[in-house]
Amino acid sequence: MKRRVVITGVGMVTPLGTGTEKSWKGLLEGRPAVRIITHFNPEGLPCQIAAEIPDFEIDRFIEIKEQKKMDRFIHLGLAAATLAMEDSGLKVTEGNADRIGVIVGAGVGGLSAIEHYKQVLLEKGPKRVSPFFIPMTIINLTSGQISIRFGVKGPNSAVATACATGTHSIGDAFKLIQHGVADAMICGGTEACITPLGIAGFTSMKALSTRNDAPEKASRPFDRDRDGFVMGEGAGVLVLEEMENAVNRGARIYAELTGYGLNSDAYHITSPSPNGEGAAKCMGLALKDAGISPEEIDYINAHGTSTKYGDELETLAIKKVFGSHAHKLCISSTKSMIGHLLGASGGVEAGICALSIYNKIVPPTINLDNPDPECDLDYLPHKSRPLYINIAISNSFGFGGTNACLIFKKYS
């Protein structure tokens, strides 16, 4: 018998604000968080817009002497984990520490520190490179710092699967609990690569929107006038627990996690497979793992990045899996408001699914003014919708053809 797994904590740091409450409120209001870049001077770059966190106060989460040992992506991940643990109320003790683990990944990692210390090396020499440079940049140190912060001694791992990172992290953690390896997991994704090199690299790929004159309108999934995604930063972390443990300690349960699918397109380093074949198979695997039929799904939090082929192929994939039921589904892309958080997106969007189920309301897809004729499903334009959700699915599809899907169910 597989053990049941529930979500008891949600921690978010997003371009709509630090803290789950601020982020959730902004999402329901349909508030855009994309602005002209302030982290550095973007002059000369074709893309000068991004979704930056407006109010992150690092001193609230990390002591000053510890801050210099970590890149910003670790700062954000540690903050989101702290918020998730506070929300959950899970206490780590000598008796349970070995049964609690961490999987928090990133798609890119410590890009800002890499850029900074490359300049230090060139201008001042190797002796001026910080001894913390390596630990502040490698992806698994978010999980490591979280483990140290809370004293959890169970599985300690990290995922780096581009835009599917957060979803894979949660799915892998789900399986560890389901099969008895752990009783609770702190899991999700984090990212902070709004840097000159990060923006320049994605711009060179023609992946980013260059709607610099109207940043708040730039992220427009499923709209025929979309011209690329908008880079965001942030972190989304969940606390997952074995159901009986959570019930016995009186925890608030947002939703149950019931299915996980993962596969590969085996097609191209950046483009999705034709006709959405890989994405469709991934959703099918998640449905099979959860033991449910396509007709039982009520809501999809779409990958929906605001790229031409990505949005069209995800639409095709949904139609392939759900058939006539596809037109009855409520679907939205919350990236329309907060941009694409890359490795953090799946963690944030999993939290959104759990909150949507718990609060019986779905955030919208904003900027969907002129729907692409190829994207003809109910993508919930402009306004949130009250909705009783029994089962929801969250999609994440990453560079390298890596796909991940999670299925959430109303807890009963």
Catalytic residues: 163, 303, 340
Instruction: Using CA atoms of 14, 20, 26, 32 in order, give the dihedral in degrees to the nearest 10.
Output: 10
Report the alpha-carbon distance of residue 302 to residue 135 in Å, rounded. Answer: 34
Contacts by residues 215-218 (CB-CB < 8 Å, ≥ 24 positions apart): 215/32, 215/34, 215/35, 215/36, 215/49, 216/32, 216/34, 216/35, 217/32, 217/367, 218/34, 218/49, 218/306, 218/367
The residues, any chain, with a CB within 8 Å of residue 2's CB and separated by 6 or more, are 178, 179
User: How close are the terminal C-alpha atoms of the chain, in Å?
Assistant: 18
> Hey, what are 291's tokens?
């033991």
- Give the β-pairing of 17-18 and 402-409: unpaired
Whether the CB-CB separation of 102 and 156 falls below 8 Å is answered with yes
Residues in a beta bridge with 73: none
Report the alpha-carbon distance of residue 170 to residue 238 in Å, rounded. Answer: 8
> Hey, what are 121's tokens?
């090396």
For tokens 């390896």, the residue is 181
Whether the CB-CB separation of 410 and 256 falls below 8 Å is answered with yes
Phi first, then psi: what are they for 167, rounded to 5°? Answer: -70, -45
The residues, any chain, with a CB within 8 Å of residue 378's CB and separated by 6 or more, are 327, 328, 329, 330, 331
Report the alpha-carbon distance of residue 268 to residue 398 in Å, rounded. Answer: 11
Residue 362 CA to chain centroid, in angstroms?
17
DSSP 296: G
C-alpha dist (Å) from residue 309 to 132, 208, 228, 255, 296: 41, 13, 10, 32, 27
Q: How many helices (H) and strands (E) does the chain have?
A: 13, 15
Determine the residue type at 64. I
